[in-house]
Structure 1
Amino acid sequence: MNKLVLTGLACMLAMGAFAQKTYIHAGRLIDTKSMKVLIEQTIVVEGGKITSVSPGYQNGGSGDEMVDLKNSTVLPGLMDMHVHIEGETSPTRYIDGFRDNEADVAYKALPLAEKTLMSGFTTVRDLGGSGVNIALRNAINAGTVSGPRIYTAGKSIAPTGGHADPTNGRKRDLMGDPGPEVGVINGPYDARKAVRQAMKLGSDVIKVTATGGVLSVARDGSAPQFQQDELDAIVETANDFGIHVAAHAHGDEGMQRAIKAGVHSIEHGTMMTDETMSLMKSKGTWYVPTITAGMTAAQLAEIPGYYPAVVAEKAKRIGPQIQDTFAKAYKNGVKIAFGTDAGVYPHGDNYREFVYMVEAGMPALEALQAATYTNAIFMDIEEKLGTIEAGKIADIIAVDGNPDENIAVMKDVVFVMKDGKIFKK
């Protein structure tokens, strides 16, 4: 073979002329934009992207990969807009922070990330951890480890003694006086510094704890925690960077302050009133319900000693209310993004949110849309993800059975592709 032929072959290879394609034969394909179910479709994937979707079963060449999902339902990769990827619920959780170094947290997070991906969730928004979540995001993006695509808040922002103050519950000589460098603020100047510090460290989104919370050992679970000028400063600074602000909130007054400041989303929203729902609709604020977290916390609170007493009391009182709030918000037309608070319950069980949403009155296809196309809009990434269309990133999953008829089949994901790479088959 002469040099000219070899040179031509090299050029063809460089241009991807011999790149392998993947042909997926989908017996049922859910179009999450139109909420229609298409029958007998072929999806062609090349170079990490979907290149075509067409009716009937087409075959590729001898070097192409064929994936037979003729007996399955195929969907876009799922998205969970509220997870805590660094850890998960445990009766030792409240002392683990005194024993685990960052490296320990990172190693524990790796299987949780992989479990999330294997359950069909190819994209997640991590809303608060120690900062290891940023390193994990980077490792996944680099292909060093397996896991979902992560958009992370890094460390949450709270006032002194607030839900995300990491020193709550410690003896006084261990409390110290944490400040904006670890997300603890007092006043608008601290607020701006905390946002800028989060950006410096690599956060994709800002998370604030606008009210008390259930699982922290702080006494209050619902009262507002920021003054209006502090929330205003946080949102203004985040807007300067072009990133969203998510507000953890259980109590209504804290929600209203956060909405007035211009946060992108309310997380949990347990005690949301009709007035707050109207305010959210007028401001375009999203709601991320996390029903699974509320239901799980209430259940675990019944186990003696699982939570500290102050946490168990809040979990029993606040947790069971979230599903009813979701039902009212859905009926009132509040914009809803799918999010579960994974970590409060075991990672990999994210599908349970679908079951609770359908129980509360949302049709199954609409619940699936919330976790795909709607969440892509929520994240401003609908040009890349959220549907199975030519030109989109090839995040594709499959389940056996018909989730539009029995949403519980989302528990058992039989196929996972992310960025065109098959992780489960």
Structure 2
Amino acid sequence: MTGRQRPIPSRPSRLLISTVAAGALLMTGCGALPGASGDSREPVTVVTWAPSGASGPDTANMAGMTAMAQAYARWVNGDGGLDGHRLRVVTCDEEDTSAGAGNCARLAVEEKAVAVVGSYSRHGRAFMTPLEVAGIPYIGGYGASEEEFRSYLSYPVTGGQSALLAGNAKQLARRCDRVSLVRPDTLGGDGQSWLLNTGLTEARRPAPLDIRVAETTTSYDDAAGRALAGAGASGGCVTAVLGDRTETFLDSFRRLEPTTGTVRISSVLGSVGQPLIDRTGGRDSPFEGAYVTGWYPDSGDARWNLMRQVIRKHAFGDNRIDPDDTGVQTTWIAYTALKSIVESLHEPGITAWKVTKALNKGIRVSTGGLTPELRWRYEDMLGSDSYPRIVNSKVTFQVVRDGKLVAEKKGFVDVTKTLSDASATG
């Protein structure tokens, strides 16, 4: 975020309270759950937040994540709950602001949440401190803030954008003689360049041509021209990691290089995804043929079938939930982890302290193959100065073929060495 920020109010706004109340009423019911022994087990309250009504060219809107959390609760409660506990999901509109993030964190404290699960925020400083003070773990965030990979109460399910950039370097090294990188002229952009350079160097490829663009730019014509020149006439690749502006850059690039296949384009999930490909023409999309590095298996993989079934049966046609969206997928994986954690405790009352203790003692979490098995002991973490909390440093290689993101290489690719090398020399 840039510019002035609004003062942080001491309590959630009326809009946040109404949003949460609706979610709480939806999730809370009377009587025992199917398969539970009377009402001996207390409900488990968690919070999921994401920007749900944000607007503007530089704001995120991830309403599918909170909607997925609500659908998950309807499903799991209809199937006996979490080890007999009714799951109570409270949702919060994070508004894509530091004030909104702080409000949502304080709401989690007020609701006595045992965890914040499967959420999105770019404002880690605003939300992590209230959670740390209250001892509430943050499980499976989207990885949009640096604090998620540093706080002792954060338990990420992916390696964040750092793992994607390290993986993108490996993916491009397999296919490209030369690489041009188009990235923001920011401190975070500097990190992108260093990770890509480290990965390409490890593969004995030339360093990428580093093309910086201002965050406020309105034209990518100059950057597109330099990227095309740097990639060469054939055998080269251009990778762009510009978030929502990746599409705008590609429009400029394709006007200069309209023939698909001579210079390949590339990006990472979060900057490019199936919803964007669908919106820009499917198989006629300018992303056709692009290499894309992701965290999870491609959306057509059978391992997503259970999530899709839950959405069909329990989302009631909620068009906010797109099963191909990475945010929705992250929320599903985070709640899958929560289910394993609660079921491992076998206690009538679940608290944030008990959840945190189980995580720190090394509970193993299976996500049905959507990630490697997850474990958050100290010895499971990458432990580098730059990425101390990463426990999952594996990514997937995908390619856009006939308008669909499909696997370019089967299985996961480990980028631990690239992350470690980049941290040691950065």
Q: Which has the higher helix share?
A: 2
Higher percent of residues as strand: 1
Q: Does the alignment reach a TM-score above 0.5?
A: no
Tell which structure's C-alpha radius of gyration is larger. 1
TM-score of the pair, normalised by structure 1: 0.27
